[in-house]
């Protein structure tokens, strides 16, 4: 294991800022985001396992392995804004290929004995039940950032994002129900989290934004 390279990866994750297209009062690094996703994943997995039979319990160790590295490719690619990344199927494929090359480069430079395992966990980070929790934690981090910026810091420039993220949460909720065979009690625990995230987005949408009023006035005057 190359410690200096690991330091370098950690430094890069701390330096790379998310939400490059938005004006933030308190910028967030990829490292901060990763920490949030890991914490959220752990807490939610524990909650789900508390209402699960032995054979239905989630593998918390696997979930955390995936959470830790789910965005490590951004050390090479940087934080790509969602509208750019998913602009089209072709653009998504191109960025995915770049990310795959990036993760291979990072793993190789770290000089680890379990390279194939890291690469597999990165590729399948959101593919199984544990991955569904990571996807939810990943989106929860976006809701958290909106809550932090708009509710706590008063950044009204992000109010418009509330409705968009509300839609993202709804879509993910549907995908989880359709694609993953969670038990009834497990799904209830997940739904509880989703409902709270939706409520936070709805609360953000209710906030009066002077800019919106200006836009509406302009539209009426045309």
Q: How far is CA 35 from the centre of its chain?
A: 11
Q: Which has more confidence, 188 or 22?
A: 188
pLDDT for the residue 109:
78
Q: What is the average pLDDT across 76-82? A: 71
Q: Each residue of 82-135: pLDDT tens digit?
A: 666 666 777 777 777 787 887 888 877 777 777 778 888 788 888 899 999 999
Give residue 217's pLDDT band: very low, low, confident or very high (50, 70, 90).
very low
Lowest-confidence pick of 34-38, 116-120, 202-206: 116-120
Query: 146 Cβ partners below 8 Å, 6+ apart?
Result: 158, 161, 162, 165, 200, 201, 204
Question: What share of the chain in percent tops pLDDT 70?
Answer: 90
For residue 138, the enclosing domain spans 3-221
Q: What span, in angstroms and rounded, lies between the C-alpha atoms of 212 and 90? A: 34
Nearest CA among 52, 34, 30, 60 for reference residue 137? 34
Q: What span, in angstroms and rounded, lies between the C-alpha atoms of 66 and 122? A: 6
Q: Which has more confidence, 212 or 84?
A: 84
pLDDT for the residue 221:
42
Cβ-contact 194, 135 below 8 angstroms: no
In this predicted structure, the answer to whether residue 76 has a pLDDT above a threshold of 70 is: yes
In this predicted structure, the answer to whether residue 218 has a pLDDT above a threshold of 70 is: no
**Number of domains present in the structure of the chain:** 1
Lowest-confidence pick of 3-17, 142-156, 206-220: 206-220
Torsions phi, psi for 28 (to 5 deg): -125, 130
Q: What is the mean pLDDT of the chain?
A: 86
Give residue 55's pLDDT band: very low, low, confident or very high (50, 70, 90).
very high
Cβ-contact 75, 9 below 8 angstroms: yes
CATH of the domain at 55: 1.10.3210.10
Q: Which has more confidence, 221 or 16?
A: 16
**Cα separations in angstroms, 67 against 27, 99, 126, 151, 197:** 21, 16, 9, 27, 19
pLDDT for the residue 82:
66
Q: What are the structure tokens assigned to 89, written together?
A: 């199927």
């Amino acid at each position: 294991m190359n410690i200096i390279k690991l330091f370098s990866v950690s430094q890069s994750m701390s330096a790379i800022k998310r939400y490059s297209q938005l004006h933030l009062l308190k910028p967030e690094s990829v490292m901060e985001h990763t920490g949030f996703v890991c914490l959220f994943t752990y807490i939610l997995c524990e909650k789900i396992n508390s209402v699960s039979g032995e054979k239905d319990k989630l593998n918390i160790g696997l979930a955390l392995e995936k959470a830790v590295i789910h965005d490590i490719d951004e050390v090479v690619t940087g934080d790509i804004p969602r509208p750019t990344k998913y602009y089209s199927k072709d653009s998504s494929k191109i960025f995915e290929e770049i990310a795959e090359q990036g993760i291979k480069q990072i793993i190789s430079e770290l000089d680890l004995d379990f390279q194939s395992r890291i690469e597999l966990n990165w590729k399948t980070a959101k593919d199984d039940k544990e991955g569904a929790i990571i996807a939810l934690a990943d989106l929860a981090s976006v809701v958290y950032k909106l809550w932090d910026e708009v509710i706590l810091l008063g950044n009204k420039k992000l109010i418009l994002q509330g409705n968009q993220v509300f839609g993202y949460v709804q879509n993910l909720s549907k995908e989880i129900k359709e694609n993953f065979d969670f038990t009834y009690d497990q799904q209830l625990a997940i739904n509880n989290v989703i409902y709270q995230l939706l409520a936070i987005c709805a609360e953000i949408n209710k906030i009066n934004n002077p800019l919106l009023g200006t836009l509406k006035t302009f539209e009426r005057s045309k």
